[in-house]
A and B are shown apart, each in its own frame.
Chain A
């Protein structure tokens, strides 16, 4: 009797090789190493935040009115805000919020979009058409715009901002997974699986979904950066985190009132956003270039 090999051993080995090449190319490229280092550094900072900041209480919102708006000095590396709180501590705590919110946005968008896209691509025909038409409608909006409308309807809070972004983000993954599923659907190994009577559900989970992994990974890395900017943008408009949450976007927003006289207030939280997003973009870009065969040919001029 013919057995369904688990995603065909050859396929598995192939994927293994892909991942190894991935890693090698990624590490060889110095820019991507910088990107990876930035991300790891921010994750470590986020995890250890309560132990490394000088004023953990102030980071979570306790005011210290006597120290209002002090410029950066040795006690307060980034200065203090309008309630006398240490900005360094608050920016460090902000890393937790940014990483967690952007990861939840991207992970949920993938969890929602990936299966839908795989389903649509595998079945094609009517189900596929319906799913993709709905996806098109969502993709018709400029991304942040729909999130603005949803967040304004739900009311300003960090959770609502994350929800609003998930609602606007999943269609991008649906389209990506759809494209991959359509090309995989009729490959010989999928046909063989179908021929020996493997169920549709199993084919999708074991054969279609793994094939979408590489492009999704690239997209997710880049999207983590965009999600950070989007969450910060919503917070900046008052539709995200509410005071006294140490959110970067919110800090830049509050700092806007004071920044012409007190430059440090808005500068440091914004710099934190820039550096972390830069990390994700450097890494994502390097991976993309590594997997794009058109760019890896030798050059002449």
Chain B
């Protein structure tokens, strides 16, 4: 156990808490202070004068700003994010429903990105400046340059419409969900279907997951390749690698046993860096694959000007993101003691 890790964890946790307060201040400024017609935004597309009047009073837009902020924060602490104009359900329950399905997608994308990213990155570094390296780097740079929504559409045309390998959209086929209904335990389809030994549903869910997860994996894949490659190249120049080589250890052993260990921490950094991007990338990806998650919810809210839903989703995703960052930092401190110094 590295020394000082608990102090570090505590310090990071306090910092994360301060940042969440900051997040609330910024979202408050965006939704209450930016000039415009905040009350009109809260009631929807074609507000009547009465509706605006009522919203102004309910949300306290006629009160002084500090009082508005107090109302805003107390509402949030009670979990009251308002009611969605589009679904007529509370924003909190809407968002909670979408969250696990989005997580399933993001985790699947990360598994693909990490696996493929480490393999390509290590291979690229070991053949530095030769043909395989050029291909590896090109693949990495292509995948970070890809507009995520466009890649998703191209996948649909090629792998679904033309080749019929994978379903076009959705999370499960209608016939499967009727004939082999899935009992929701964790909210993750793949886990639930395994727990209930519902293999038809498992296969169907997995098949639906492939294309959206692949499309979403592009960016973290590119970043992982780049980070792992850079790290490997550095390690391969270190003195201890040179000594190992001088001792006559085979190159592959050095690569796998000594160098790859160092790739772990760079992979974690790459994931931390790409998490934000993947999270918002999931918004567009889900919309295109009609994946019933937080992203589709937010995107549809934006398209229908459902303001309470937009702001609610933004706040929850931002807080979620701060917490994930905190966890990544702590995890990294455990793996690499130099961080806490």
Question: Within 8 Å of chain B (Cβ to Cβ): is A233?
Answer: yes
When the two chains form their complex, are residues B153 and A149 in contact, meaning their CB atoms are under 8 A apart?
Answer: no
When the two chains form their complex, are residues A154 and B36 in contact, meaning their CB atoms are under 8 A apart?
Answer: yes
When the two chains form their complex, are residues B302 and A143 in contact, meaning their CB atoms are under 8 A apart?
Answer: no
When the two chains form their complex, are residues B277 and A225 in contact, meaning their CB atoms are under 8 A apart?
Answer: no
- Closest Cβ of chain B: how far from A268's Cβ, in Å? 10
Bound CA span A15–B289, Å:
50
A229-260: CB near B (< 8 Å → 1, else 0) gives 10011001111000000000100110110011
Which chain B residues numbered 4 to 45 have a C-beta less than 8 Å away from chain A? 18-20, 22-23, 25-27, 30-31, 34, 36, 38, 41
When the two chains form their complex, are residues B144 and A300 in contact, meaning their CB atoms are under 8 A apart?
Answer: no
Q: List 16 A-B contacts (CB under 8 A).
A: A31-B134, A31-B141, A133-B18, A141-B318, A142-B279, A142-B280, A148-B302, A149-B30, A153-B31, A153-B41, A155-B36, A239-B302, A255-B153, A270-B153, A274-B145, A299-B233
- Closest Cβ of chain A: how far from B23's Cβ, in Å? 5
B146's contact among A145, A154, A239, A274, by CB below 8 Å, is which?
A: A274
A236 CB contacts on chain B under 8 angstroms: 149, 284
A66 CB contacts on chain B under 8 angstroms: none
Contact A233 B145, CB 8 Å, known A31-B137, A145-B279, A299-B237: no
Bound CA span A295–B20, Å:
37
Bound CA span A237–B298, Å:
10
Looking at B30, B134, B317, the one whose CB has the most chain A CB atoms below 10 A away is B30
Bound CA span A233–B233, Å:
34
B148 CB contacts on chain A under 8 angstroms: 229, 233
B147's contact among A143, A233, A259, by CB below 8 Å, is which?
A: A233
When the two chains form their complex, are residues B303 and A238 in contact, meaning their CB atoms are under 8 A apart?
Answer: yes
Q: A interface vs B, CB < 8 Å?
A: 31, 133-134, 136-138, 140-146, 148-150, 152-155, 225, 229, 232-233, 236-239, 249, 252-253, 255-256, 259-260, 263, 266-267, 270, 273-274, 277-278, 281-282, 285, 294-295, 297-301
What residue in chain A is nearest B146 (Cβ atoms)? Answer: A274
- 3 interchain residue pairs of minimum CB distance: A137-B22, A270-B150, A142-B276
Question: Within 8 Å of chain A (Cβ to Cβ): is B335?
Answer: no
Contact A301 B145, CB 8 Å, known A152-B310, A294-B234: no
Which chain B residues numbered 218 to 272 have a C-beta less than 8 Å away from chain A? 230, 233-234, 236-237, 241-242, 245, 251, 254-255
Bound CA span A142–B298, Å:
14
Question: Within 8 Å of chain A (Cβ to Cβ): is B156?
Answer: yes
B276's contact among A138, A143, A253, by CB below 8 Å, is which?
A: A143
Main secondary structure of the interface of B (DSSP, over half): helix
Looking at A140, A146, A229, A281, the one whose CB has the most chain B CB atoms below 10 A away is A140
Bound CA span A140–B319, Å:
9
B314's contact among A133, A145, A249, A282, by CB below 8 Å, is which?
A: A145
Bound CA span A233–B144, Å:
14
When the two chains form their complex, are residues B144 and A259 in contact, meaning their CB atoms are under 8 A apart?
Answer: no
Question: Within 8 Å of chain A (Cβ to Cβ): is B118?
Answer: no
- Closest Cβ of chain B: how far from A145's Cβ, in Å? 5
Bound CA span A149–B138, Å:
34
When the two chains form their complex, are residues A136 and B19 in contact, meaning their CB atoms are under 8 A apart?
Answer: yes
What residue in chain B is nearest A151 (Cβ atoms)? Answer: B302
B291 CB contacts on chain A under 8 angstroms: none
Question: Within 8 Å of chain A (Cβ to Cβ): is B206?
Answer: no
When the two chains form their complex, are residues B321 and A141 in contact, meaning their CB atoms are under 8 A apart?
Answer: yes
When the two chains form their complex, are residues A256 and B153 in contact, meaning their CB atoms are under 8 A apart?
Answer: yes
- Closest Cβ of chain A: how far from B221's Cβ, in Å? 14
Bound CA span A267–B161, Å:
14
What residue in chain B is nearest A143 (Cβ atoms)? Answer: B276
When the two chains form their complex, are residues A154 and B321 in contact, meaning their CB atoms are under 8 A apart?
Answer: no
When the two chains form their complex, are residues A149 and B310 in contact, meaning their CB atoms are under 8 A apart?
Answer: yes
B156 CB contacts on chain A under 8 angstroms: 260
When the two chains form their complex, are residues B317 and A142 in contact, meaning their CB atoms are under 8 A apart?
Answer: yes
A263 CB contacts on chain B under 8 angstroms: 157
When the two chains form their complex, are residues B157 and A140 in contact, meaning their CB atoms are under 8 A apart?
Answer: no
What residue in chain A is nearest B233 (Cβ atoms)? Answer: A295
Question: Within 8 Å of chain A (Cβ to Cβ): is B297?
Answer: no
When the two chains form their complex, are residues B150 and A281 in contact, meaning their CB atoms are under 8 A apart?
Answer: no
- Closest Cβ of chain A: how far from B259's Cβ, in Å? 9
Bound CA span A251–B41, Å:
27
- Closest Cβ of chain B: how far from A262's Cβ, in Å? 10
What residue in chain B is nearest A229 (Cβ atoms)? Answer: B147
Contact A141 B31, CB 8 Å, known A237-B299, A237-B303, A273-B147: no
When the two chains form their complex, are residues B145 and A266 in contact, meaning their CB atoms are under 8 A apart?
Answer: no
- Closest Cβ of chain A: how far from B32's Cβ, in Å? 10
Bound CA span A270–B288, Å:
14
When the two chains form their complex, are residues B26 and A137 in contact, meaning their CB atoms are under 8 A apart?
Answer: yes
When the two chains form their complex, are residues B149 and A301 in contact, meaning their CB atoms are under 8 A apart?
Answer: no
Contact A140 B318, CB 8 Å, known A148-B302, A236-B284: yes
